[in-house]
Amino acid sequence: MKRKLCLILVIAGLCIIGLSSCEKGSGNFHLTIENDSKQQGSNRFERNGWIYVHIEGSPEKLGYQHGYLLAEEINDLLRVMKPFLQHQSKRDWNFYRNASEQMLWPKMDKEYQDEIDGIVAGANAKGVKLDRYDIVAMNGFIELAYYYVPMLDKAKGQQASTKAPGNCSAFIATGGWTKDRRIVMGHNAWTDYVIGSRWNIIFDIKPKEGHRILMDGLPGVIASMDDFGVNSNGIMVTETTITSFFGFDPSGKPEFERARKALQYSNSIDDYVRIMLEGNNGGYANDWLVGDNKTGEIALFELGLKQSSVRRTKDGYFFGSNFPVDEKLLKTETTFDVNNKASSPNARRTRWEQLMTQYKGEIDIEAAKKFETDSFDAFVKKEGANERSLCGAVEISPRGVPEWDWPKYFPGGTVQAKVMDGQMAEKMQMQAAYGHPCAPDFIAEDFLKQHKEYEWMRGLLRDMKTGAWTQFVTGMK
Give the integer Cα–Cα distance in Å for 88 and 241. 19
pLDDT of residue 349: 98
**Mean confidence (pLDDT) of the chain:** 91
Q: Do 463 and 388 share a domain, yes or no? A: yes
Task: Name the helix (H) or strand (E) containing 433.
Answer: strand 429-434
Q: Are residues 114 and 136 in the same domain?
A: yes
pLDDT value for 15:
40
- Give first-to-last CA distance, the chain, whole Å: 48
Q: Provide the CATH number for the domain around residue 322.
A: 3.60.60.30
Task: Write out the residue range of the structural domain in which residue 228 sits.
Answer: 36-473
State pLDDT tens for residues 51-76.
999 999 999 999 999 999 999 999 99
- In angstroms, rounded to a whole number, what is the distance separating the alpha carbons of residues 162 and 171? 27
**Count of the separate structural domains present in the chain:** 2
Relative to beta strand 376-377, strand 50-57 is: unpaired
Is there a single domain that holds both residue 25 and residue 46? Answer: no
Q: Which residue has the higher pLDDT, 246 or 4?
A: 246
Residues 359, 247 share a domain: yes
Domain identity same for 406 and 440: yes
Question: In this predicted model, what pLDDT tens digit does every residue of 394-439 receive, in sequence order?
Answer: 875 544 333 445 556 689 999 999 999 999 999 999 999 999 889 8
Same domain assignment for residues 24 and 87: no
User: Same structural domain for residues 14 and 153?
Assistant: no
pTM, full prediction? 0.91
Instruction: Clarify whether residues 173 and 301 are in a common domain.
Output: yes
The phi, psi pair for 300, rounded to 5°, reads: -110, 110
pLDDT score of 37: 82
CB 203 within 8 A of CB 284: no
Q: Are residues 228 and 117 in the same domain?
A: yes
Please check whether residues 322 and 428 belong to one and the same domain: yes
Residues 77 and 15 in one domain: no
φ, ψ of residue 143 to 5 degrees: the values are -70, -30
E strand or H helix at 54: strand 50-57
**What is the biggest distance separating any 2 CA atoms in the chain, rounded to whole angstroms?**
91
Mark whether 18 and 145 lie in a shared domain: no
